[in-house]
Amino acid sequence: MEKIITYENLRNFAYSNDKLCKGKIRGIVLSFFGLGGMSMFDDEPNGTDLAGQDVVYLIPYNNPWAWMNRQAVSYTDELVDVIMNHYHLPEDIPIVSTGGSMGGLSALTYMAYAKRTPAACVANCPVCDLPYHFTERPDLPRTLYSAFANYEGSMQDALESASPLHLAAKMPEAVYTIFHCECDMAVNKEAHSDRFVEALRGRMPVTYYAVPEKGHCDLTPEMWEKWREAMLAQMK
C-alpha cells in the first residue's frame, strides 16, 4: 500500500510538538501508549517542555492493542520519516524510544526493529516477557490475540517476536534506562524488568531504577526527573 501519512495530515496519526520548537531540532522522543491508550492531543505537557529544548515529541496513535506488532513498527517508522523529511534532519539525529507498561514493551521492542535505531530507550514498568504476560491477567489474551493472530507459525513464536526478554540478545547497542515500581500488581517486576535487565547487562549500558512502595508506572517526582534526564541525555 502507498504511504498515507504526510506532514499535512500528521496530526490525524500522531501528536507532535514540532511546530512549538523555535530553534534547530536536536532530536526526537517517541512516546508509546500503554494498553488501551487511544487519546488524541492538541496540547501535551511533555510536548511543551521538550519543545523548549528543541526536541520533537512524537506520540504515535498506534492501535491501542498493538503490542508493537509489525504494523505498529511500520506505522512508527512512517511517522518518523515524515518528520525527518519535512525538516531535512540528518540520519544520525538522536531518537529516544520511551513508554510505560505496553508502551514500555513498545519502546524496547521498537529498538530491535526500527528503520532508524534509536540512540536510547527509557521504559517505565515495561512488559518484558510477552509469553508470560499472556497468562498474567485475564484481560490480556484477547488483546494479544488481536495483535498477533495473523502471524504465521505458533502464537508462542509470534509473542516471542515482540517480547523484549526474548529479543535481548538481538537488542542494538544503545543506552537503556529502565524503571520498575516494586509494588506493581499489573506487570510483575521480578518476572519482567528484573529478568530483562539481567539479560542485557554486560552487553551494553543499562541503568535500572527500582521504585519502592509504588504501584504500576507510578514514579516519584525524583524518578520522573531521572526519566526526563535520561530522555534528554542523548540530544546534541
Query: In Å, what is the CA distance from 129 to each residue of 8, 140, 199, 216?
Result: 38, 13, 12, 16
Q: Is 59 exposed, middle or buried (0-12, 13-18, 19+ CB in 10 A)?
A: buried
Tell me how far apart the alpha carbons of residues 232 and 97 are, in angstroms, rounded to a whole number. Answer: 11
Domains of the chain and any CATH numbers: 66-232 (3.40.50.1820)
Look at residue 202 in the predicted model and tell me its pLDDT: 87
Q: What's the pLDDT score for residue 93?
A: 98
Please give the average per-residue pLDDT across 44-58, as a whole number.
97
pLDDT in tens, 102-115: 999 999 999 999 99
pLDDT band at 59; cut points 50, 70, 90? very high
SS3 200: helix
Helix, strand or coil for residue 212? coil
pLDDT at position 236 over 80: no
Handedness of CA 69, 186, 33, 31 (dihedral sign): negative
Joined together, the cell numbers standing for residue 73 give 513498527
What is the maximum span of the chain, computed from C-alpha positions, in angstroms? Answer: 49
Instruction: Give yes or no for residue 34 having a pLDDT over 80.
Output: yes
Residue 43 has pLDDT above 80, yes or no: yes
Closest-CA residue to 121 (of 65, 172, 187, 166): 172
In this prediction, residue 2 carries a pLDDT of 79
Quick: pLDDT tens for 172-194: 999 999 999 999 999 999 999 99
CB distance 4 to 72 below 8 Å: no
Query: What percent of the chain has a predicted confidence (pLDDT) above 70?
Result: 100
pLDDT of residue 49: 97
pLDDT bracket for residue 1 (50, 70, 90): confident
Provide mean pLDDT across the span 57-86: 98
Residues 6+ apart with CB under 8 A from 153: none
| DSSP code, position 152 | S
**What are the tens digits of pLDDT across the range 113-168?**
999 999 999 999 999 999 999 999 999 999 999 999 999 999 999 999 999 999 99
What per-residue confidence (pLDDT) applies to 3?
83
Residue range 9-26, pLDDT digits in tens: 999 999 999 999 999 999
Average pLDDT of the chain to the nearest whole number: 97
CA angle 28, 227, 14 (to 5 degrees): 35
Beta-sheet strands, E only, within the chain: 14-16, 27-32, 55-60, 95-100, 120-124, 175-181, 206-211
Q: How far apart are CA 51 and CA 44, in angstroms?
A: 11
User: Coil, strand, or helix at residue 97?
Assistant: strand
Residue-wise pLDDT tens digits, 189-198: 999 999 999 9
Residues 6+ apart with CB under 8 A from 123: 98, 99, 100, 103, 104, 105, 107, 108, 176, 177, 178, 179
